[in-house]
Amino acid sequence: METRRITVLSAGLGVPSSSRLLADQLADEATRKLSASGYAVTVDVVELRDLAVDVANNFVTGYAGPRLAEVIAGVEASDGIIAVSPVFSASYSGLFKSFIDVLDPKSLDGKAVLLAATGGTDRHQMVLDYAMRPLFSYLRARVAATAVFAGPQDWGNTDDGGTPLSDRIERAAGEFVHLLDGVQPGRKQSPLESQPFEQLLAGITAGN
């Protein structure tokens, strides 16, 4: 059975956080769909607020401390990313962008990504297509067509006539899982991962 590793990046600042709540629901639905498709699933959840000092120190020193380095390695080794940010001043949070900035720009090349955001009003949902999607497109990630925004009304029991959050989550997770099916161009091979003899020989020949 093949395994798909998903890293969930939650940039929420509060405890509890609506961004984390949305991230968990997206991860649960993606896991359910991947399992139904015959994949084993590993989910690593990263609360970026816990790395705020490490990220700031990385900018100053140019060196990632052990905890931050471990998270970065996890992102690089993952098959897919679920990225959720609260909206501040009509864009993703500074913490979210700062973490993306400490990654190797090539580490997200070809990786499957599902985008989501939370905010205090539906007017902020444009951040998904005008800020987050361009960022990950620039990094050459494969971004699911449907992104999910959750506002205050999505956590209550009121019916505003829009598409329920659960339906949006299911659709977005389905598209994300479709990206995770088959060969993954964004997967970074572990240095200890065994390779076929022909591939090793080709690498040696190329180096001569």
Residue 166 has pLDDT above 60, yes or no: yes
What is the residue range of 76's domain? 3-207
Report the alpha-carbon distance of residue 77 to residue 191 in Å, rounded. Answer: 11
- Name the strand (E) or helix (H) holding 80: strand 80-88
Report the alpha-carbon distance of residue 59 to residue 65 in Å, rounded. Answer: 11
Residue 29 has pLDDT above 90, yes or no: yes
SS3 sequence, 119-167?
A: CCCHHHHHHHHHHHHHHHHHCCCEECCCCEEECHHHHCCCCCCCCCHHH
pTM of the entire predicted model: 0.87
- Number of folded domains that form the chain: 1
What's the CATH number where 156 sits?
A: 3.40.50.360
- pLDDT, mean of residues 43-68: 96
- pLDDT, mean of residues 104-119: 96
Give tens-digit pLDDT for 70-101: 999 999 999 999 999 999 988 999 999 999 99
SS3 category, 83: strand
On the CB side of 131, how many CA atoms lie within 13 Å of its CA? 21
Report the alpha-carbon distance of residue 147 to residue 113 in Å, rounded. Answer: 10
